[in-house]
Amino acid sequence: MARIIAVCRSESKGTRKESIGQGVFKENFGLLDDAHSECDTHRQVSLLALESIEKMRSTGLDLKPGDFAENLTTEGVDLPHLPVGTSLSVGQEVLLEVTQIGKECHTGCAIFKQVGKCIMPKEGIFAKVIQGGIIKEGDAIRIEEPADVN
C-alpha cells in the first residue's frame, strides 16, 4: 500500500525540514507554515520516496525524512516515473496534481552542503494542491493516471 511516512516543514528555504506528524494543505498554496508554500506556483508541495532516502542511507549517511527538504515522504510509490498531470489522492481530503519531476538544483544548495549529495533533482517530484485538507503520517496515497489527451 502506498502511504505517507512523514509530513515535514521548515521556516526557511534551503534547509532540512522537520517532521510534524500532520499538516494542513491549502488549495493552490501548499503546506501551511512552510517556507516553500506559495500561491500560483507549480511547486507548492515536494515529495520524495523513502526508498530514495534508503538508497542514500545505504552509503553510510544518517538520514531521516525531511533531510532533503521534502514536504511529504512517501512509501510504495515510484515517484520519478509518475507522469506530469497524475492526480494523487492523499488521506481523506487532499488531492495533489504532479506538476514537475525532479528539478534543477542550484550549485551548493544547503542540502548538498549538509548531506554531500542531493537526490531531489532526479528522484523528487513537485505537485500543486487541487483540493486542500489534512495529511497525516500513515495516510494512504491513491494514484490516478492522467487522461490520455490523444
Q: Taking the CB of residue 131, how many other CB atoms lie within 10 A of it?
A: 15
Question: In total, how many domains does the chain have?
Answer: 1
Q: pLDDT of 86-127, one tens digit each?
A: 999 999 999 999 999 987 665 555 566 666 666 776 889 999
**Cell digits of residue 89:** 489522492
- Please say whether the beta carbons of 79 and 49 come within 8 A: yes
Please report whether residue 18 resides in a domain: yes
Decide: 103 and 42 in contact? Cβ < 8 Å. no
What average pLDDT score do residues 33-37 get? 88
Residue 136 lies in a domain: yes
Residue 149 lies in a domain: no
The CATH number assigned to the domain holding 110 equals: 2.40.33.20
Q: pTM, whole model, 2 decimals?
A: 0.88
Reported as type and span, the H/E element at residue 134 is strand 133-136
